[in-house]
């Protein structure tokens, strides 16, 4: 049968997706072992139930639920829902980048305050956390690429704080990609925002050391997931977000830390956090190294995916970011160099690219934005280019200026 929906919270079952063809007996056993008692199936994509089996239409089921809950939503709930939809109305890249800049500024201040509270042994401000997660969620809903791309452009000094904002946005973008509901997306964002809180107790000389860590220093650094968990376990943080804080450095092959969990022992949210944490870390400038190009980072992560990451979640992450994420430097078949400014709607290989350099004449040319997936566009991406080879000083500014 083709499963269309598992009737219950995503937290009650082990699957990161809820729509798939049920062919594996082990998957059937896993479903029967959960708290899920009913499922919806799509008979156009799979087998029907046997004749004579009782069934209920979706409309009948919805009517039964409304009756059990005491009619429809209240006017206040409807007003809140309308306001939420208005805040999440899709916006263009240029508009959302302006909003995202404000979120990054406010987010950095909020995370700095949160780390200070943690260092002094105080409880974190849950209201502030929830408010920031809502702001990030709204931005990701309006335009997934803007905040995710902008948060990557942090200085080495800002890394510890804006990394939390970036991972929160990445987590929610991935959660949306795999079809999680709003509550689950919010929990994912909370996990991303809080996952590194334990670094508040790591000595700054280790946290910001420009050179290679000693074995003792590395052991201290590896203690931060346990510290995060200890700080947050009595703070009201959702248990799955708390688990992701503890296990975001676990690897699918069991070589991660702190507990050496392997495969299905690692919960879905922690597997997601592992991907998002690594991506932001390797694309960001750090005290001891410059960040890698976004497209190169995805290529490297693909090489590690079978050992380090849940491969299905990693493929979903690539769909979220695009094969050529915003900020990637590419060479077109025409010989022009350009920077990716946003993802296209037609294909992962056909983003919007702002061309600004001719390799044939070896000269800068007037910037022009090309939608590679647009009808009639004959140009295409030939190869990814290494920004370090060309050393364009204004590469980030080119894609930030959405014209």
Enclosing H/E stretch for 382: strand 381-384
How would you class 285 by CB atoms within 10 Å of its CB: exposed for 0-12, middle for 13-18, buried for 19 or more? middle
For 63, 72, 79, 135, 279, the CA distances from 76, given in Å and listed in that order, are 21, 11, 5, 21, 40
Q: E strands along 236-335, which residues?
A: 329-332
Q: Residue 327 and residue 395: Cα distance in Å, rounded?
A: 8
The whole-number pLDDT of residue 57 equals 54
pLDDT digits (tens, 9 = 90+) for 236-253: 899 999 999 999 999 999
Question: Which of 333, 319, 332, 331 minimizes the C-alpha distance to 293?
Answer: 331
Query: How many C-beta atoms surround the C-beta of residue 68 within 10 A?
Result: 7
pLDDT at 364: 97
Query: Does residue 320 have a pLDDT over 90?
Result: yes
Binned at pLDDT 50, 70 and 90, residue 338 comes out as very high
How far is residue 252's CA from residue 267's CA, in Å, rounded to a whole number? Answer: 11
Is residue 15 over pLDDT 80? no
The whole-number pLDDT of residue 68 equals 46
How do residues 166-184 score in pLDDT, each as one tens digit?
Answer: 999 999 999 999 999 999 9
Q: How far apart are CA 172 and CA 237, in angstroms?
A: 17
State how far the Cα of 273 lies from the Cα of 242, in Å rounded to an integer.
Answer: 11
Q: Using CA atoms, how far apart are residues 217 and 209, in angstroms rounded to an integer?
A: 10
Lowest mean pLDDT of 59-73, 195-209, 289-303, name the range. 59-73
Element (H, E) at 164: helix 159-177
Cα–Cα distance, 316 to 180 (Å, whole number): 12
Which residues sit opposite 338 in a β-bridge? 330, 355
For range 184-190, the mean pLDDT:
96
Q: What pLDDT is stored for residue 65 in this prediction?
A: 45
Q: How far is CA 364 from CA 73, 337, 390, in A?
A: 58, 9, 12
Cβ partners under 8 Å of residue 75, min gap 6: none
Q: What number of other Cβ atoms are within 10 A of residue 206's Cβ?
A: 15
Q: Over the chain, what is the mean pLDDT?
A: 88
Per-residue pLDDT of 261-283, as tens digits, reads: 999 999 999 999 999 999 999 99
pLDDT per residue as tens digits for the range 377-396: 999 999 999 999 999 999 99
Look up residue 380 and give its two tokens.
């295409």
Summarised one tens digit per residue, pLDDT across range 41-73 is 888 888 887 765 555 554 554 555 455 445 556
Which residues touch 3 (CB under 8 Å, ≥6 apart)? 18, 19, 20, 21, 22, 39, 40, 41, 42
Q: State mean pLDDT over 370-383.
A: 95
The pLDDT of residue 8 is above 90? no
Place of tokens 């995805």: 298
């Amino acid at each position: 049968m083709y499963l269309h929906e598992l009737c219950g919270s995503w937290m009650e079952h082990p699957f990161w997706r809820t729509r798939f063809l049920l062919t594996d007996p082990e998957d059937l056993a896993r479903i029967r072992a959960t708290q899920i008692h009913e499922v919806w199936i799509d008979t156009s994509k799979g087998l029907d139930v046997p004749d004579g089996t009782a069934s209920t239409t979706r409309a009948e089921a919805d009517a039964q639920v409304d009756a059990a809950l005491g009619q429809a939503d209240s006017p206040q709930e409807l007003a809140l829902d309308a306001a939420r939809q208005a805040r999440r109305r899709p916006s263009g890249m240029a508009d959302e980048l302006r909003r995202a800049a404000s979120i990054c500024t406010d987010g950095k201040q909020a995370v700095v305050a949160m780390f200070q509270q943690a260092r002094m042994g105080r409880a974190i401000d849950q209201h502030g956390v929830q408010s920031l997660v809502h702001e990030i969620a709204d931005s990701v809903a309006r335009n997934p690429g803007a905040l995710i791309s902008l948060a990557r452009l942090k200085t080495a000094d800002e890394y510890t704080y804006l990394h939390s904002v970036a991972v929160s946005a990445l987590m929610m973008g991935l959660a949306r990609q795999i079809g999680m509901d709003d509550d689950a997306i919010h929990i994912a964002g909370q996990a991303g925002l809080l996952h590194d809180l334990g670094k508040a107790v790591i000595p700054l000389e280790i946290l910001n050391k420009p050179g290679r860590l000693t074995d003792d220093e590395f052991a201290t650094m590896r203690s931060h997931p346990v510290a995060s968990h200890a700080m947050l376990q009595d703070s009201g943080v959702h248990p799955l977000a708390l688990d992701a804080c503890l296990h975001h450095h676990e690897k699918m092959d069991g070589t991660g830390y702190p507990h050496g969990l392997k495969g299905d022992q690692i919960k879905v949210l922690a597997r997601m956090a592992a991907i998002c944490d690594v991506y932001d870390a390797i694309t960001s400038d750090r005290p001891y190294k410059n960040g890698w190009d976004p497209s190169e980072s995805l290529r490297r992560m693909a090489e590690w995916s079978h050992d380090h990451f849940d491969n299905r979640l990693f493929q979903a992450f690539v769909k979220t970011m695009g094969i050529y994420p915003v900020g990637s430097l590419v060479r077109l078949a025409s010989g022009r160099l350009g920077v990716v400014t946003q993802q296209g709607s037609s294909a992962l290989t056909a983003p919007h690219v702002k061309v600004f350099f001719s390799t044939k004449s070896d000269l800068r040319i007037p910037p022009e934005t090309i939608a590679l997936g647009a009808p009639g566009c004959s140009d295409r991406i030939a190869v990814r280019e290494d920004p370090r080879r060309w050393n364009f000083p204004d590469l980030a500014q080119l894609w930030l200026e959405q014209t």
